[in-house]
Amino acid sequence: MTDVELRPQVYKDPRPEEYFAPFHERVRRHEPEAIVYETTRVLTVLCALSAFRARGYGAELVPNGPVILAPNHASFMDHFFTGAFIRRRVQFMGKSQLFKGLGEWIFSHGGVFPVRRGHHDEEAFITAFKILDRGGAVVMYCEGGRSRTGKLADEAKPGIGRLALESGAPVVPVAILGSYQVRNWRRLQFPRVTVQFGEPFKFEAISDTARDEQQQAADYIFARLRTLHAELERVGHKGALRSSRPRPTRPRRATASQERRQRRSRELPPPRPHTDFLGVPHSPATDGGEATDDREHSERN
């Protein structure tokens, strides 16, 4: 069994639930503001493509309408890597500690909504359901915390299972390879990052779910993500690029026997019509001229 070190939750946000109510209300009522979202998107995409040489594959698998994107989590940049390769405006839960100062305005106007980690934060789920109800895209991490090693955790948190079951929205697993080393940018080390989108799937919607049902759904989602991530690890960054390229179709060269048959067919005279089709029995011992003479002789007699 692989040891996975998840980033610990250092502290709980001491601010009361009421403090975050305006941020939830704004995200529930409004789409992300275009100028805020697109400006942030341009800056983060340029950073992802240039500094981290990020590449994404399978983005065409993300359906229109409500969808849950379920990536693995190893970096603070994962939500930007996830959204960089699809044109839809994705929204995600951000830890409440991010909502301070100017960040409050940027995040809430950009479509991010707070979650109070370590608390049973029902408001975060209500906001996520509202986004899905209006056909939006929500990013939710299966593991609930960041991995420091890039390895996936042993099991998923039940929250994503609840969101998938009670919304009935399609789920798209998203495997991110290499992002756990993004924190090395301070040492001027910029790892290559690859993002692979998987096939969407969905559960039959259930209005009220028990915790064991949520966990079962979360485990299934995580299993699909684990398979996708393992395959991406196996082929690596370059392998993902090669497998994504369409193979050119080249004209196949004829074999020697095929070429001989083609030459013989060009040298042979055109075939004669089968005389059975003309009402005259065909005789292999006679050619067309003799058959005509015999017919004329019989007519004279």
Tens of pLDDT, residue by residue over 135-174, are 999 999 998 777 777 788 888 999 999 999 999 999 999 9
Token couple for 151: 């390895």
- Sort strands 113-115 and 90-95 into parallel, antiparallel or unpaired: parallel
Buried b (16+ CB within 10 A) or exposed e, 232-266: bbeeebeebeeeeeeeeeeeeeeeeeeeeeeeeee
For 209-219, what is each residue's pLDDT tens digit? 999 999 999 99
| Domain extents in the chain | 17-244, 256-300
Q: pTM for the full model?
A: 0.76
Q: Which residue has the higher pLDDT, 104 or 279?
A: 104
3-state secondary structure 268-285: CCCCCCCHHHHCCCCCCC
Write out the CATH class of domain 17-244: alpha beta
Q: Give the dihedral sign, CA 114/117/121/126.
A: positive
Mean pLDDT of all residues belonging to the chain: 82
What would the pLDDT profile of 244-272 be if each residue is shown by its tens digit? 655 433 444 445 565 566 556 555 555 45
Of all helices (H) and strands (E), which one includes residue 233? helix 211-244
Per-residue pLDDT reduced to its tens digit, 35-91 = 999 999 999 999 999 988 999 999 999 999 999 999 998 888 888 999 999 989 999
| CA distance linking residue 137 with residue 167, whole number of Å | 12
Measured distance CA(160)–CA(48) in Å, rounded = 26
Helix (H) or strand (E) holding 225: helix 211-244
pLDDT for position 149 = 73
Query: Whole-angstrom Cα distance, residue 193 to residue 176?
Result: 7
Angle (CA) 41-230-144 rounded to 5° is: 55
Coil, strand or helix at 142: coil
